[in-house]
């Protein structure tokens, strides 16, 4: 339910905060007081197209905030899809600046105008001369009829679920048959290609992780080859072109031993030279350069390059080659067993189609029964609403199978005898359309998917008993829905649960529209004004009191 509407700098409205209530909220006021401005402001908050002409003269920005304390299931689904929390209700806010920029928020989360409108359409339905929502869109008529049928047909829900599940099975089988048919048409031309590639990959027999292992082995063997060269260089230095380094060191010691002085002053150095020669000889014996087997490296590189070439060919990683082989084997097997597989798929489609048609036909029968019942209910409403010459039918046509069955539903109406039936949005008169939508809403009343419904132009061209009938139906509908009704009818205003007066005042070349809730004598006087005009009479006061107690 819409609890608050805060408007700032919209046309004649400077600052305004309206607190709406449950049930029937009536708004009245003299012509030109600004009733249409309220609808424009509310529509802006709900995602309607913006117009800088709405900004109050002399202001840079306008804003509208609409607060709701009840959210229906359709709106909750949209909010969940967009990650918007709604545990404490919803606050829709829209700003509009003179440069044409418009911004929107839902619960202080910035959103696109498109999302704002999606939510707005689920929360509020406006019926007026220039605006309409929901039921004028033929795409909503199927779900509206289904909701109506659930109220009177206990078997409907089960049949609907059975139809939905049968369609899922049918759609899955049809999809599989289509994929298989397309695959076979392509694959017949690709058989040689598939056979060649399957043979090639089977022969290659790539294992997951093999490329990495071969790459590591190749790197290790190349390092070993480099190390062997380094060791050979070391051995060559130790040999020194045939004269080993240890022999050269011993030769130095021998020379020093020839010193004639006794004791030899270099005896310590001579000992160290012999020790060094012994150590060098030992090192030389421990260094064993081993050459890498070239054939082994070549084999590893050949395998590695073959795997990488296959991966490039099939545009995948080396580790994905086994899966690629499996996929092509399946394709090849499907070609080889195409007749058997096609027969099986076609049999599945036929079986699921029979099941689906059985439930869809039952669903259609229930809808036809519900359509007849809906027509009867609406036709009983129309005469009292000065639409006695109008007629209503639910046009049910066959459509392509879907989860909803095989029915295309469109609500059709004609307002005068001899004229053809047409869709609801083809009705020319705003007043006729609003009154018919009231009748339709009364008949379709669904307490599980509540909306705030706004009616404007309901009382165009009516008075007396017709206006009373409109008020009675608004009162009936408001038992489950919140209604906002702009009216010029005293009879309609008398049914209000909350009554707001829209006024316009001018001071110092400044014109401002205000909205105030009226009760008691103020309400009686406002209804009396509607009855008698500017000059309120005792008779109009008495009539107003009677209308309020009706």
| 435 and 465 Cβ atoms separated by less than 8 Å | no
Q: What pTM, to 2 d.p., does this model score?
A: 0.66
Return the DSSP state at 137.
S
- How many CA atoms lie within 13 Å of 38's alpha carbon, on the beta-carbon side? 31
Domain boundaries, the chain: 187-338
Rounded Cα–Cα distance for residues 388 and 403 (Å): 37
Adjacency order of strands within the sheet including 422-423? 391-402, 405-414, 422-423
Tokens for 281, please give them: 């000889």
- Provide the greatest CA pair distance for the chain: 159
The tens-digit pLDDT sequence of the chain (550 residues) is 999 999 999 999 999 999 999 999 999 988 777 788 898 899 999 998 888 989 998 899 999 999 999 888 888 989 999 999 988 789 999 999 999 999 999 999 999 999 999 999 889 988 865 555 567 778 888 888 888 887 555 556 788 889 999 999 999 999 989 988 887 777 667 777 888 888 889 998 888 888 888 888 878 777 766 666 676 666 666 666 556 766 677 766 666 666 766 787 767 877 777 787 777 777 766 666 565 555 677 888 888 888 888 889 888 998 999 998 998 888 788 777 777 888 889 999 999 999 999 999 999 998 999 999 999 999 998 888 888 888 999 999 999 999 999 999 999 998 888 888 988 777 756 677 778 888 888 888 766 667 899 988 787 777 888 889 989 999 988 988 899 999 989 999 999 999 999 998 888 778 889 999 999 999 999 999 999 887 888 999 999 999 996 6
Helices of type H across 124-155: 141-152
Rounded Cα–Cα distance for residues 396 and 407 (Å): 6
């Amino acid at each position: 339910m819409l609890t608050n509407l805060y408007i700032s700098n919209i046309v004649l409205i400077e600052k305004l905060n309206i607190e709406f209530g449950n049930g029937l909220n009536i708004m009245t006021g003299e012509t030109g007081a600004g009733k249409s401005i309220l609808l424009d402001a509310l529509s802006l908050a709900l995602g309607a197209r913006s117009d800088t002409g709405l900004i109050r003269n002399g202001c840079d920005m306008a804003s509208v905030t609409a607060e709701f304390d009840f959210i229906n299931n359709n709106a909750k689904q949209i909010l969940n899809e967009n990650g918007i929390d709604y545990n404490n209700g919803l606050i829709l806010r829209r700003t509009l600046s003179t440069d044409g920029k418009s911004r929107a928020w839902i619960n202080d989360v910035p959103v696109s105008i498109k999302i704002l409108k999606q939510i707005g359409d689920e929360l509020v339905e406006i019926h007026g001369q220039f605006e309409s929502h929901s039921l004028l869109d033929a795409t909503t008529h199927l779900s509206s009829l289904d909701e109506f049928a659930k109220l009177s047909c206990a078997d409907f829900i089960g049949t609907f679920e059975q139809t939905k599940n049968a369609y899922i099975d049918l759609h899955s089988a049809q999809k599989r048959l289509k994929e298989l048919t397309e695959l076979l048409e392509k694959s017949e031309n690709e058989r040689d290609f598939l056979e060649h590639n399957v043979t090639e990959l089977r022969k290659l027999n790539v294992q997951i992780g093999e490329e990495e292992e071969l790459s590591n082995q190749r790197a290790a063997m190349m390092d070993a080859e480099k190390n062997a060269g380094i060791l050979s260089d070391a051995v060559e230095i130790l040999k020194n072109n045939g004269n080993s380094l240890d022999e050269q060191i011993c030769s130095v010691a021998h020379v020093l031993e020839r010193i004639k002085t006794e004791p030899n002053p270099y005896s310590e150095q001579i000992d160290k030279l012999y020790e060094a020669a012994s150590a060098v000889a030992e090192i030389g014996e421990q260094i064993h350069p081993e050459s890498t087997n070239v054939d082994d490296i070549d084999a590893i590189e050949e395998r590695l390059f073959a795997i990488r070439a296959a991966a490039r060919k099939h545009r995948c990683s080396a580790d994905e080659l086994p899966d690629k082989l499996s996929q092509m084997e399946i394709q090849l097997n499907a070609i080889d067993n195409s007749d058997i597989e096609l027969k099986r798929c076609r049999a599945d489609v036929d079986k699921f189609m029979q099941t689906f048609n059985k439930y869809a036909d039952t669903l259609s029968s229930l809808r036809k029964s519900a359509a007849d019942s809906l027509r009867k209910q609406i036709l009983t409403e129309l005469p009292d609403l000065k639409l006695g010459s109008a007629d209503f039918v639910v046009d049910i046509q066959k459509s392509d199978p879907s989860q909803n069955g095989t029915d295309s539903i469109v609500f059709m109406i004609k307002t005068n005898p001899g004229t053809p039936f047409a869709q609801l949005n083809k009705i020319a008169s705003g007043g006729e359309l609003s009154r018919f939508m009231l009748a339709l809403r009364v008949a379709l009343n669904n307490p599980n998917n509540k909306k705030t419904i706004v009616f404007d132009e309901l009382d165009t061209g009516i008075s007396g008993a017709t206006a009373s009938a409109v008020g009675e139906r608004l009162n009936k509908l408001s038992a489950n829905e919140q209604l906002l009704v702009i009216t010029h009818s005293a009879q309609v205003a008398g049914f209000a649960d909350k009554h707001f007066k829209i006024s316009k005042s001018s001071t110092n070349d400044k014109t401002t529209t205000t909205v105030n809730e009226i009760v008691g004598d103020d309400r009686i006087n406002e209804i009396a004004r509607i009855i008698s005009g500017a000059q309120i009479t005792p008779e109009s006061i008495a009539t107003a009191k009677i209308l309020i107690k009706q």
